[in-house]
Chain A
Amino acid sequence: MDTLSRRRFLALTGGAGVAAAANILSVEDIAQAAITRPLPANTPILVVVTLYGGNDGLNTLVPYSDPLYYSLRPDISYTPEKVLHLDSTLGLNPSMTAVKNLWDKEKVAIIRGVGYPNSDHSHFSSMAIWQSGERTQTTKTGWLGRWVDSQPEDPLLAINLGSVLPPLLVGKKRSGSVLPLGGLVTPSGSLARDCSRLSLPALGENPLAARAATSLRNLLNISESVSPILKSPAPVATDLPTVNGGNAGGDNNLSQQLDVVAKLVTAGAPTRVWAVSLGGFDTHANEANAQSELIGIVSSSVSRFLSQLVASGRSKDVTVLVYSEFGRRVAANASAGTDHGTSAPVFVIGDGVKGGFYGEQPSLNNLNQGDLAVTTDFRDIYATLLEGVLKVPAEPILGGWKGRINSLLRT
């Protein structure tokens, strides 16, 4: 894995399922939809933050009172006084001051030891498992793509920031849409008319060609409704310091993505799921600074984003999920980095979240071939969010999965 690139890290084979062509929507339908049917107030919104490359859980949520942590990671550990203490044993990476502030306001749930049975150390397999929500991928769809399938068709329902669709949002019948950071430029005039002719369904067309036609149709549809919104400035974060803190950022890719999401949520886009991402977490070598910087970006970007939404009254409706495909090996390697591991903490952040710890912290005394135990199944979190945030029965989407994280959300 590229340790520097912030580009999207897409699963090699996951999510390659082909959705059937969507029903035809006229340009007018959608353009009007954005204006005439903004998301009703108080509708919950889920924002999924994917950290590509395998974020180091032990240097995110640091077991600072455990001597084993220091002996296994002599060069890449954080001393107790540097860690942001959450309780007498665990603390956040020093760069995560913004999330620490939210934790103090009881808006941060940290689910510990999250993974799946028989951990796979491959980036691609593991990310495919996380994005599909299936331990063995049988449907080639993403867990939120299946949610899109369960909803009435609407190209604005689930949107990924960036120009390539992640497997997460690929459904069997339909998929989420994507928005590049610069927004979309609407074809206009005769080009728009030409493109709409070219984007009609064709009889007997192969599914991929049908998909190409749909993407052109969606371009006409989505861009009509969201382009004007994207040109407006991002909402101001009202309650964050503007210097020395998270609000000073804004030049990194994740905060740019969340800026766009903040604008669109504020404008009332009828979108209930947003997907954003940050890459570069595959810290096999010289980890300490790189991981700390990246997780600090995540911390400040998410906190800034929630603040930006305060003025619109929507911040209370937003729940943010932050996950990565795996944690890292407990012991450091010789390159002051860590190799691929297993479980890691997952963060769920928002006003609707009951802050605190969930799940058991995996013990450093009880490693399985050098890796942390998995104490919480990732599907417990998905099921809880599908039911608590998206308000749909989770079991049809998650293959009958029964586990839940009890009392994670304030209902």
Chain B
Amino acid sequence: MATLSADQERLALSRLYSRFGFGVKAGEFESALANGFVNTKNSFLVKPTQDGIASDLIPITLDDLGPRPTPGTFANTEYSLKLSKQNKDLVIWWLDQMATTDYPLNEKMTWFWHGHWATSIEKINFALPMYKQNITLRNNALGNFATFCQSMFQDGALQFWLDGQDNTATAPNENLSREFMELFTLGVGRYSEDDVKALARIFTGVQVQRTNGSVVFNARRHDSSPVNFLGATKIYTAQDAITSITSRDDSSRFIYERLWYRFFSSTETMPVDINRSAFTSRDIFAAISDLCSTPYMYAPDFAMVKSPIEWFIGLCRVFGLTPSATKNFSAIGSDLQKLAQVPFTPPNVGGWPAGEMWLTSASAQFRLSLSQNILKNVSLDFINAIPPVSRVNYLRDLLGVYQWSRRTSDALTVARTEPARMLLLAINSPEYIVGA
């Protein structure tokens, strides 16, 4: 990597933390500036400990609730209560995990994949299959994409979400086969309508136990006749077909497009000459490491809007808050709902929107409200310790912001003797909401 100017270092570091992680912890940006981008990036990429992921994971217990008791009985009421508690616990569990993890890259990639294989608990209804899916996303987040796709085909929540359990030899259901190629592996237009129909037949025979997400293959419901799929006619197993898909160059192109869209720019298209050689063997970690070392990290023009969760978790991390330990979590959760982003509840199979969709006047209002609720949990002593004249620059580095505009630094200067007011403005500033 070329030697970077001081400004380029700042920009690359700001992007590294906010895009490939969930923002900086207090003091982290200052040390990163001292260590330089390359050193910081190298240690950011690797797991903090040998078994980083496992030891870092907050434990949670979710029992299989089994079939629902007869309606109207006491047991049924109890069941409903357990169900709704599990679903709430699951969301808080992940928020806590994001806010506290020591390996933010893996967590951010898990979040990326959740938006990629976007499955909503609103249809699944049960926490346990959603949790199992999250573990699969987590374990494959930086692994091999081809293996990952095979595991996702075996995922009960995904199968149920896209009607895989209704896809039988007698009359196939195309929901999973279409989205599998369009949204998960190849991208729209890189297969034919006949391929969708053929893949639906290949995918037949899966049955899902909804309460726990376990998947079984029922040969009697499976269509084992030869089909023409992606140009070859033969008898395919689902595994064969997935291998055919993921070995196509289009699957590499598509994953790069998605990485580009979520990590570099949702408005500027991916450069046509982007180097995808790191992904030749479908190694996700290699692709990410490589992208983190490209000049796109410090090239202008690639501003990204923080989604509500990225913005919220960023604040939790910098203020050292664990969501479940906040004194007003129900108010915070309700603000996240109004901001239209709650983990495990993507709006549809395409995941959450990006870019200016989060920049409406309504989001501005709810961010203000959420900020006020977050700041109720933050002691302001640390700002009081800084002389007012240094506070504008201090907040810039604390939050990992590339630069304040003159407009924002003027607005912060007006408020600098009132830490709460100043902080509220800083975290709602265009420069914090949109990463340069």
Q: How far is the CB of B429 from chain A (nearest CB, A)?
A: 6
Check A185 for interface membership: any CB of B closer than 8 A. Answer: yes
Complex A-B, nearest 7 residue pairs according to Cβ-Cβ distance, in ascending order: A334-B171, A335-B166, A202-B405, A163-B362, A212-B430, A202-B407, A219-B361
Return chain B residues, CB-CB under 8 Å to A214: 359
27 example contacts (A-B, Cβ-Cβ < 8 A) are as follows: A2-B349, A3-B123, A16-B357, A122-B182, A155-B361, A163-B338, A163-B363, A164-B362, A165-B357, A170-B356, A177-B360, A178-B361, A180-B365, A182-B338, A184-B362, A185-B369, A194-B411, A194-B415, A198-B408, A209-B303, A282-B175, A284-B173, A284-B175, A285-B163, A333-B172, A334-B166, A339-B173
Return chain B residues, CB-CB under 8 Å to A19: 356
| Chain B interfacial positions (CB closer than 8 Å to A) | 120, 122-123, 161, 163, 166-168, 170-175, 178, 182-183, 188-189, 193, 196, 261, 266-267, 300-301, 303-305, 338-340, 347-351, 353-366, 368-369, 405-408, 410-411, 414-415, 421, 424-425, 428-431, 433-434, 436
A284–B182 CB distance below 8 A: no
Q: How far is the CB of B410 from chain A (nearest CB, A)?
A: 7
A29 and B199 CA atoms in complex are apart in Å by: 58
Contact for B428 among A125, A198, A210, CB less than 8 A? A198
A47 and B354 CA atoms in complex are apart in Å by: 26
**Total chain A interface residues with beta-carbon distance under 8 A:** 78
Return chain B residues, CB-CB under 8 Å to A13: 261
Q: How far is the CB of B173 from chain A (nearest CB, A)?
A: 5
Q: How far is the CB of A264 from chain B (nearest CB, A)?
A: 15
Asked if A208 meets B340 with Cβ closer than 8 Å, knowing A7-B348, A213-B430, the reply is no
Contact for B359 among A9, A206, A211, CB less than 8 A? A211
Check A120 for interface membership: any CB of B closer than 8 A. Answer: yes
B188–A1 CB distance below 8 A: no
A124 and B179 CA atoms in complex are apart in Å by: 10
Q: How far is the CB of A53 from chain B (nearest CB, A)?
A: 8
Q: How far is the CB of B264 from chain A (nearest CB, A)?
A: 13
Looking across the interface, which residue of chain B has its beta carbon closest to that of A197? B411
Check A366 for interface membership: any CB of B closer than 8 A. Answer: no
- A-B contact count, CB below 8 Å? 232
Return chain A residues, CB-CB under 8 Å to B421: 190, 194
Return chain A residues, CB-CB under 8 Å to B415: 194
B347–A218 CB distance below 8 A: no
Return chain A residues, CB-CB under 8 Å to B410: 197
Looking across the interface, which residue of chain B has its beta carbon closest to that of A5? B122
Q: How far is the CB of A178 from chain B (nearest CB, A)?
A: 4
Looking across the interface, which residue of chain A has its beta carbon closest to that of B303? A206
A336 and B400 CA atoms in complex are apart in Å by: 53
Contact for A5 among B123, B174, B351, B366, CB less than 8 A? B123
A180–B362 CB distance below 8 A: yes
B347–A7 CB distance below 8 A: yes
Check A223 for interface membership: any CB of B closer than 8 A. Answer: yes
Contact for B123 among A2, A209, A279, A369, CB less than 8 A? A2
Check A12 for interface membership: any CB of B closer than 8 A. Answer: yes
Question: CB within 8 Å of B: which of A156-170?
Answer: 162-165, 170
B366–A198 CB distance below 8 A: no
Looking across the interface, which residue of chain B has its beta carbon closest to that of A210? B430
Contact for B408 among A163, A202, A210, A339, CB less than 8 A? A202
A212 and B340 CA atoms in complex are apart in Å by: 17
B178, B361, B366 interface centre (most CB from chain A within 10 Å): B361
Looking across the interface, which residue of chain B has its beta carbon closest to that of A12? B350
Return chain A residues, CB-CB under 8 Å to B366: 163, 180
Return chain A residues, CB-CB under 8 Å to B172: 333-334
Contact for A123 among B304, B350, B351, CB less than 8 A? B350
Return chain B residues, CB-CB under 8 Å to A204: 405
A194–B408 CB distance below 8 A: no
A5–B347 CB distance below 8 A: yes
A339–B359 CB distance below 8 A: no
Return chain B residues, CB-CB under 8 Å to A209: 303, 405, 430-431, 433-434, 436
Question: CB within 8 Å of B: which of A98-137?
Answer: 120-125
Chain A window 271-282, contacts with chain B (Cβ cutoff 8 Å), 1 for yes, 0 for no: 000000001001
Return chain B residues, CB-CB under 8 Å to A340: 174, 178
Contact for A178 among B182, B193, B362, CB less than 8 A? B362
A187 and B421 CA atoms in complex are apart in Å by: 13
Contact for A215 among B161, B353, B360, CB less than 8 A? B360
Looking across the interface, which residue of chain A has its beta carbon closest to that of B409? A202
A3, A182, A209 interface centre (most CB from chain B within 10 Å): A209
A215–B361 CB distance below 8 A: yes
